[in-house]
Structure 1
Amino acid sequence: MGKVTSLDVAERAGVSRSAVSRVFTPGASVSKTTATKVRKAAAALGYRPNMLARAMNTGRSRIIGLVVAYLENQFYPEAIERLSKALQAKGYHVLVFMASNDSDATQSVIDELLDYQVDGIIAASVGLSNDLTKRCDGLGIPMVLFNRHQYDDRLSSVTSDNVAGGRKLADFLVAGGHRRIGHIAGWEGASTQIDREAGFIAGLKAAGHSLFARGLGNFDFETAKQAARDMFGGPERPDAVFVANDHMAFAVMDVLRFELGLRVPLDVSVVGYDDVTLSKWPSYDLTTVRQPANRMVAATVDVLMARLDKDDRTPKRVAIDGPLMIRGSARKPQGTAP
């Protein structure tokens, strides 16, 4: 047999060729009866629509490029799965590319995405150069930053409310009676780190405290372990530490307990940020601020769809508040429920 076409399917199903096209076009209006006949005929003939040809005809590939900086942090695999499912439900395919926080490497990745004629781009914790932003804007390709923002009026972004989250952790530790409070920071070029630390410092200052010690973990497991050794290896150590994300907090807790012989939370309280699945495990039982991934994903998709549909081209900056999840890794203030 030669290549099966939509005309072959239409003739077998007894419908028009445009009806076949609508059946295989996500979101198109078609009756259930027609859709059933067309799909049955297509299955019998072994027909599959040519998505590349359709993209050339319509100017829409129905592909969303998803750029991710790293997957070591457990928050991202979970968030990417949710993003992929949400976009697929809207009739879009997802093309995932790995990048880094190096602007040249990120530009190379975006160049590849543009070669695929993507309809839109979601950049998850990836910094973008001004030139790259200008280029995508000029091509009419909407972009949404996920879990990162930049001070650029052309870019939409969706994050948790990192400033408020940092403030909640400071209030919690101060209320728990801690006085020597440290912070192990993530990558200092990330808005998430900048905002979380700003909120944390503001909370300490409001309570009449200042930061006792500061280390740099760069959102990296091994780097965070060394930061913990440096911060807690001497006699003048903090009695509490806010680690900028859960991924690093697990590294810090391992060093405190298994290398330095400190008891968590009796000797030192540890709090994190993200509330990944591992945080709930009894081996860590980590007090942390939850990033509301479901709401962040929904908001990201809504913002991107509005841009794609040309309903609203005004960039949006969305910051969603997340709750403090109190568990056993930190001393609790008096009166806190067990």
Structure 2
Amino acid sequence: MNKKNRVTSYDVAHAAGVSQSAVSRVYRPGVSVSKKTREKVLKAAEELGYKPNAIARMLINRSTGMVAVIISSRANVNFPEVLAQLNKHIAGKNKRVLLFTLDDADQLETVIEQIFAYQVDGVVALTAHFEPDSVTQFAKHNIPVVLYNRELPDHSVSSVCCNHDQGLRMLVDILVSHHHQHFLIMAGPKDSDVARARLSGARNALLAHGFTDTTVIYGDYSYDSARDSLSAYVQNNPLPTAIICSNDTMAIGAIDEIRENLGLRVPEDISVVGFDGISASSWHSYQLTTVSQPTYFMTKAAVETLINLIETPEVPPETRYWPGKLIEGNSVAAAPRDND
């Protein structure tokens, strides 16, 4: 049926012999309406092929029922799972996801303007970096924001985060317990809030064990960047006995580079640890020691926090931390004696 012939609530009201407001009440959850009126409306609607316009109904209630989710195209491998769970939790709150993808941080301003045009009820941001000015812009438009797995210290915005410090402490503790002393940190991109948090966590964990001078190289979270950065590093530097990677994808890239181009073994010659707990980390060739993020609970908490902010705007912002789970694979062994 084309738009010109689309059945409206007025048509249903006329056919059922009731008012247009009665039709509206039938399709509004929790609104009282007599059994007789409901039956008449539903019968007329079925005969006419009427389907209520959810967007129009929400606009009447001054709500679009849409939640904007902002994600970077440089997404982590586990982000499809995160998006699926976010969508499930948001749908459970009778709202829908409007997805916006960023190729780089410079596009954030454009995306924000698009979000304003759609008059969304709230925003969940999974971008690599989120500027404080962006939070201010949303606040001026009375649109609540929840940051996923990143935070803006000293700024008034809610966040749901994995405890990166706790996860890195567990990984470093394992490496130190295996007598490693020569570490290399393979960090994520410098403009990523999560990568910076994990780099800080790794440094602090090593510092707690007395290691004050650890070399850092950078990738962009990708498999190829890990191989390239490690290959360039070993050209002019001694090999570490342990590599701490910002995510599992780079850890897998490091393992393949060690085995294929350096001619060494993992973990007998070099131990490697990652972070995230992606499915590939458990593959037989890798069996990575890593920290998995509780994505189900984190996404659920992000949506609950956002809905609470939408329904109760005066609620103050909060940051909720979730501990990661240590997965001990086969990518860590005792440091080689000749490197001690």
The TM-score normalised by the length of structure 1 is 0.88
Q: Where does the alignment leave 5 or more consecutive residues of structure 1 unmatched? A: 334-338
Secondary structure at the counterpart of residue 140 of structure 1: coil
Select which of 92, 96, 101 maps to 2:95.
Answer: 92
What does residue 74 of structure 1 align with?
77
Distance 2:17 2:263 in 1: 76
Secondary structure at the counterpart of residue 180 of structure 2: coil
Number of matched residues? 331
Matched, 1:47 2:53: no
Distance 1:91 1:18 in 2: 22
Instruction: Identify if the C-alpha distance between structure 1 residues 229 and 30 changes in structure 2 by more than 3 Å, giving closer, same or farther.
Output: farther
What does residue 197 of structure 1 align with?
199
What does residue 261 of structure 1 align with?
263
C-alpha contact 1:167 1:201 (8 A) present in aligned 2 = no
What does residue 167 of structure 1 align with?
169
Secondary structure at the counterpart of residue 289 of structure 1: strand
- Which residues of 2 match residues 1-338 of structure 1 at below 5 A? 2-9=5-12, 17-18=20-21, 20-22=23-25, 24-25=27-28, 28=30, 42-70=45-73, 72-102=75-105, 104-233=106-235, 236-310=238-312, 312-331=314-333
Corresponding letter in the other structure for 2:178: G
C-alpha contact 2:132 2:152 (8 A) present in aligned 1 = no
C-alpha contact 1:180 1:239 (8 A) present in aligned 2 = yes
C-alpha contact 1:86 1:298 (8 A) present in aligned 2 = yes
Distance 1:4 1:307 in 2: 36
Instruction: Identify if the C-alpha distance between structure 1 residues 298 and 13 changes in structure 2 by more than 3 Å, giving closer, same or farther.
Output: farther
Secondary structure at the counterpart of residue 158 of structure 1: strand
Instruction: Identify if the C-alpha distance between structure 1 residues 21 and 266 changes in structure 2 by more than 3 Å, giving closer, same or farther.
Output: farther
Which of the two has higher C-alpha Rg? 2
The TM-score normalised by the length of structure 2 is 0.87
Distance 2:325 2:178 in 1: 18
Distance 1:43 1:332 in 2: 71
User: Could you tell me how far 1:56 is from its partner in structure 2?
Assistant: 3.3
C-alpha contact 1:168 1:200 (8 A) present in aligned 2 = no
Comparing 239-248 with 222-231, which one deviates more in the overlay?
Answer: 222-231
User: Could you tell me how far 1:266 is from its partner in structure 2?
Assistant: 0.8
**Percent same amino acid at aligned positions?**
34
Secondary structure at the counterpart of residue 273 of structure 1: coil
Q: Where does the alignment leave 5 or more consecutive residues of structure 2 unmatched? A: 336-340
Q: Spell out, residue by residue over 1:106-164, the C-alpha distance to the aligned partner (whole angstroms, 9 max, x if none).
A: 11011111111111111103423333221210110001111111124221111100111
Distance 2:303 2:332 in 1: 35
Secondary structure at the counterpart of residue 153 of structure 1: coil
Comparing 43-52 with 306-315, which one deviates more in the overlay?
Answer: 43-52
Instruction: Identify if the C-alpha distance between structure 1 residues 9 and 170 changes in structure 2 by more than 3 Å, giving closer, same or farther.
Output: same
What does residue 338 of structure 2 align with?
none
What does residue 336 of structure 1 align with?
none
Distance 1:90 1:281 in 2: 36
